Structure 1
Amino acid sequence: MRLKPEQLARHLEQGLAPVYLFAGDEPLQLMEAADAVRAAARTRGYTEREVFTADRSFDWSALTAASDSLSLFAERRILELRLPTGKPGTQGAKALEAYCLRLPEDTLLLVHAGKLEKSAANSKWVKSLEQAGVMIQVWPLSLAETAGWIARRLRSRGLVPDEPAVRLLAERVEGNLLAAAQEVEKLALLRGEGSLDADGVLEAVSDAARYTIYDLADAALAGDSARAVHVLNGLRGEGVDAVLILWALSREVRSLTDIAEQMEAGTPAAQAMKSVWAKRAPLVKKALARHRAPAWRALLALCARTDRVIKGQAPGSPWDELLQLTIGLAGRPLFGRPASRPAP
């Protein structure tokens, strides 16, 4: 069975298929479709997850062994198979066809194929996966389709856009849905719920105020997401080096990680915070109240990734990563980035 991304939610309400094949070359739609399936699986008791990447050295017997071993356990499990080239090869094709002929119980298989060439799309292994479960295939959107997608996304965040506002955003992102999603999230933070026109979009994305990297750190520590985004956009518009911004944020994250770990080990808060300036203590206390030690360690790992992106050692946009880090530090992560609140 083939489904469009917008049909997936209704399908998941009715139940889970044993196999899902995700194909196409629009990253955000693929990511969100896979996230939706994983979330639905978790609510149905799929508590374990094992991921395989089928590169040139991959041993396909590992997938077969993993599926065969599940009968020994009571837990339901998700098996995820990533095909970097979109082709499993002769051995892999046979392994996938065999899997579909003998579907293991309490097992969900997610296959990420990326963009499929025409020959692969018509291959026996693809048809086997499609017949055994569901194939989600996505394509880049046209400008008109992007505008419709943005309008729906804005409405889902409580904003009521007019046509010029939607058209302006669609032209700004040039078909990049990940960038469009980022813009929608920023508008939701900065504008809140309600009507949105083109002037509102321009006001949100263009800020002439001058800020410092310390203003950014303070706003994030205070949990003021809207101001933090304003400051970050202002710094970018003024040409401030991304390295300096990361330095300011990572310094705070390292310090707070150390304090949180001391408190986790039983050190009294006052003693753990003895190196914090009295003037900054209220901000630090607010930040510590939002995150526990594991979340601070996750944010520290995000700092390391952002550093690699800035240096060109990892894929991605430095400014997108800095936005994720800023919002995560403020307690409002985008797309499920690390952050956690203490249990009440």
Structure 2
Amino acid sequence: MKLNAQELTNHLSRELASVYLIAGDEPLLVSEALREIQVRAIQSGFENREQHIVDKGFRWVDLESDMQNLSLFSSKRIVELRLHAPRPGDQGSRTMRAIVERSDPDTLLLIVTTKLDKAASNSVWIKCIEKHGVIIQVWPIDRARFPGWIRQRASVLGLDMSVSASELLAGRVEGNLLAADQELQKLFMLLGEGRVSEEIVLESVASNTRFDVFRLTDAMLAGDSKRTMKVLYGLRTEGIQPALVLWAISRELCLLARLKAASLSGEKEMVAMQRNQVWRNHQPLVRKALKRFEIKELTSLIMRASEVDRIIKGMLKGDAWNELINLLMDALASNPQQKSIVPWRAT
């Protein structure tokens, strides 16, 4: 049997299979599916839990022997098997087929692995689990559904989140479900149940150093030199790695270049924004920046960013932070109203 994660709760209310394979690349959703099965198993009398991590030296023969030697007086147990990829090799495939086909009522086998590609889905051991147990495919939350997922998650905590607030948080965490969940938990602890506006989310993420790189790029897009340099100084003081700062800057420069190229080719701005998945609350800043930059300037800045990347990696000589400052100064200098740059004091 194959299920998606949304069907799991209904399935567990009716039955508990002897083997489950949970496959997916989203750690939060995979762990929650695993936990839901574990809770149901504990309610059904499975008292003990074993965990095996399949690495290069894993001995499949020991696992099979352990599964066969369960004492008549032993309690029910959960055996959790974690695979880094759905390719256990010939011996692993044979072992899991033998365990699954034996179907011990006192043992619940939980297998956790990454997304199943076509080859893995058609493998013999996967087909065996599909026949005798349940395969749960955990799909990622795509960008369009992410704000809705955040609002639904917030509602479970008693938070009434506005559409603009959920879109803001979705943009800040860049598709990271675990980071979004952590921010929602923090909001709940700070506010309790109630309405969550865009202003509240802004205040919450502003107190988190993890989001300061976004404050930096927002200031850069706005052409605000004083705020840009103030945030950059704060990032350096907090010990943020230059590579993370460069990633954030480069991401925005590349986005602007794609949008500018689309505009020059005749594509409508809104269509290009949607095609490049620019969040609605981020669009005003992007539009403002597009008015300042020409395509040649953006190309030059991206080339400069590539040089800074090589300096950070030690491939070229130079001071990474000073080069980041110069890169931002050049980006800010594209603002025709720019009059001065706040001087930087190296420490």
Q: Distance in 1 between matches of 2:237 and 2:30?
A: 33
Q: Which residue of 1 aligns with 2:179?
A: 179
Shift of 1:71: 4.5
- 1:176-209 CA-to-partner distances (Å, cap 9, x unmatched) read 111111111111111210111111211222249x
- Contact persistence 1:19–1:109 (CA under 8 A): yes
Shift of 1:175: 1.1
Q: Distance in 1 between matches of 2:202 and 2:154?
A: 15
SS in structure 2 of the partner of residue 72 of structure 1: coil
SS in structure 2 of the partner of residue 10 of structure 1: helix
- Contact persistence 1:140–1:175 (CA under 8 A): no
Shift of 1:151: 1.0
- Contact persistence 1:191–1:204 (CA under 8 A): no
Q: Distance in 2 between matches of 1:7 and 1:39?
A: 16
Shift of 1:163: 0.8
Q: Which residue of 2 aligns with 1:83?
A: 83
**Pairing of 1:1-344 with structure 2 (within 5 A):** 1-207=1-207, 239-240=237-238
Q: Distance in 1 between matches of 2:235 and 2:182?
A: 17
For 1:32, give the aligned amino acid: E
For 1:136, give the aligned amino acid: I
Q: Which residue of 2 aligns with 1:325?
A: none
Shift of 1:73: 2.9
Q: Distance in 1 between matches of 2:154 and 2:237?
A: 29
Q: Distance in 2 between matches of 1:78 and 1:84?
A: 19
SS in structure 2 of the partner of residue 56 of structure 1: coil
SS in structure 1 of the partner of residue 69 of structure 2: helix
For 2:133, give the aligned amino acid: G
Shift of 1:117: 3.0
Shift of 1:239: 4.5
Q: Distance in 2 between matches of 1:175 and 1:63?
A: 37
SS in structure 1 of the partner of residue 84 of structure 2: coil
Q: Distance in 2 between matches of 1:194 and 1:28?
A: 25
Shift of 1:99: 1.6
- Contact persistence 1:147–1:170 (CA under 8 A): yes
- Contact persistence 1:190–1:204 (CA under 8 A): no
- Contact persistence 1:68–1:104 (CA under 8 A): no
Q: Distance in 2 between matches of 1:160 and 1:237?
A: 32
Q: Distance in 1 between matches of 2:45 and 2:99?
A: 22
- Provide closer, same or farther for how the CA distance between residues 239 and 152 of structure 1 changes in structure 2, counting only shifts above 3 A: farther
For 2:7, give the aligned amino acid: Q
Q: Distance in 1 between matches of 2:14 and 2:24?
A: 24
Q: Distance in 2 between matches of 1:85 and 1:238?
A: 38
Q: Distance in 1 between matches of 2:89 and 2:167?
A: 43
- Contact persistence 1:79–1:108 (CA under 8 A): yes
- Provide closer, same or farther for how the CA distance between residues 167 and 41 of structure 1 changes in structure 2, counting only shifts above 3 A: same
For 2:60, give the aligned amino acid: W
* Percent identity for Structure 1 against Structure 2: 44
- 1:129-179 CA-to-partner distances (Å, cap 9, x unmatched) read 122111111222211221121111100000011111111111111111111
- Contact persistence 1:86–1:116 (CA under 8 A): yes
- Contact persistence 1:87–1:113 (CA under 8 A): no
Q: Distance in 2 between matches of 1:81 and 1:207?
A: 39
- Contact persistence 1:25–1:140 (CA under 8 A): yes
- Normalising by the residue count of structure 2, what TM-score does the alignment of the two structures yield? 0.58
Shift of 1:24: 1.4
Q: Distance in 1 between matches of 2:201 and 2:237?
A: 21
For 1:196, give the aligned amino acid: V
Q: Distance in 1 between matches of 2:235 and 2:183?
A: 15
Q: Distance in 2 between matches of 1:155 and 1:149?
A: 10
SS in structure 1 of the partner of residue 20 of structure 2: strand
Q: Distance in 1 between matches of 2:117 and 2:4?
A: 19
* RMSD, matched Cα: 2.0
Shift of 1:100: 1.9
- Provide closer, same or farther for how the CA distance between residues 189 and 132 of structure 1 changes in structure 2, counting only shifts above 3 A: same
Q: Structure 2: which 5+ residue stretches go unaligned?
A: 209-233, 241-347
For 1:37, give the aligned amino acid: I
- Normalising by the residue count of structure 1, what TM-score does the alignment of the two structures yield? 0.59
Q: Give the aligned length.
A: 215
Q: Distance in 1 between matches of 2:200 and 2:69?
A: 56
Q: Distance in 1 between matches of 2:13 and 2:160?
A: 27
- 1:201-232 CA-to-partner distances (Å, cap 9, x unmatched) read 11222249xxxxxxxxxxxxxxxxxxxxxxxx
Shift of 1:70: 2.1
- Provide closer, same or farther for how the CA distance between residues 35 and 84 of structure 1 changes in structure 2, counting only shifts above 3 A: same
